[in-house]
Amino acid sequence: MAKGGWSFLQEWAIYEYLMARHDEGSLRIRPVRVSGKSVGREKWVRVVDLKPIKDSRFPDIKSIKLQGERTPREAEIKFTTSEFGYHRNRPADFKDFHSKNGFILVLAHDHMPKGLSSIDIFELDKSDFETWCRSNFNRLFNRQVGTRAELKVWIMYQGPNFNSESDTIESARETHIWCPTENLTGFDLAPGDRVLFAKSSGASTQSVQKSYHLGNVHNDWFLEELYIAEVSSEILSREEYCQKMGLSLNTQLWKKDPRPKYSWRWSRVFEFRPIACLKKRVPMLSLNERGRPDNFTVAVTQAYCYGKSRELDPKDYMKLLEKLHRGN
């Protein structure tokens, strides 16, 4: 991966896109050259597993598994194929990469570099990538300049781990650590940001989701608690958090924290400190504005139904607090 200037921003955008679409389960790529031959017809392949990039050493992607293939492969990200040069600059590393069936992943295939012929080339869905970049321009810009001026407010549904505990494992409410459910970075969630951990009752995710798709808020759905917290650390990998706290990497951090064969399900951690806890049974419907779903109810609906964090405009956050304070 290139390390400076516009080239870095381009390739970082590709990486951010890859992880975002992978988390959604919608990432697909298409082969344009396989075993030294061009692929004539358009054929899309779903990515079933993608390990995060942890450093800029070649190759960028240490493990990517494609649908229909039995074993993961390695991949190097380039904006165009012609930018690839490891076969000339680092022949020993390239030989190992090639022996492991590694491939080049590009936004656009232009032409093969001199001296390279047999390696596989895959392309991203360019139209989808451009759409995603337009929607995430601020995030990409902030990543490049290394700063973020504004504080953010996030809605996260409490979920079982927020309150569940055992004799040996405390709940997140007690430990003040949480894992974001998608690929949030330090430019999305940073120290000083607010997180509103919401808890509701009265309606299932299926019934709330059905009403939401009809443009309504479910009549029997109630906000029970709003636990307001301030983010007090950067997002850390699970390994970094355990090292920071002097814990074994085998430490279970939450009661409902499944561990597959190779790694824990929840792989990232951020710390928070309590600000306030509003326990008040309020009909979600009463938070509407002029009969239309309020921005908070839309955000908490999405967090509840789809298990995703949702950002809330600070103005809507203040408006919510005013409504809860006056009892509306």
* Mean of pLDDT values over 281-308: 86
Mean pLDDT, the chain, whole residue set: 85
Residue 308, pLDDT score: 85
pTM above 0.85, yes or no: no
* Mean of pLDDT values over 291-303: 86
Helix, strand and coil percent figures for the chain, each rounded to 5 = 35, 25, 40
**pLDDT of 1 strictly over 70:** no
Spell out the residues 6+ positions from residue 15 whose beta carbon is closer than 8 angstroms to its own: 1, 53, 60, 77
* Mean of pLDDT values over 27-41: 91
* Mean of pLDDT values over 27-45: 91
Residues 66-124: pLDDT tens digits? Answer: 999 999 999 999 988 988 999 988 899 999 999 999 999 999 898 899 889 889 999 99
**pLDDT of 40 strictly over 90:** no
Burial class (CB in 10 A: 0-12, 13-18, 19+), 291: exposed
User: Phi/psi of residue 104, each to 5°?
Assistant: -100, 130
Residues 134-160: pLDDT tens digits? Answer: 877 766 655 554 545 567 899 999 988
What gap in Å lies between CA 258 and CA 263, rounded to an integer?
9
Domains of the chain: 5-145 (no CATH), 153-326 (3.10.590.10)
User: Do residues 165 and 122 make contact, with C-beta atoms less than 8 angstroms apart?
Assistant: no
User: Do residues 171 and 36 make contact, with C-beta atoms less than 8 angstroms apart?
Assistant: no
User: Do residues 195 and 229 make contact, with C-beta atoms less than 8 angstroms apart?
Assistant: yes
Amino acid identity of 39? V
Report residue 8's pLDDT band, with 50, 70 and 90 as the boundaries.
Answer: very low
User: Phi/psi of residue 301, each to 5°?
Assistant: -60, -45
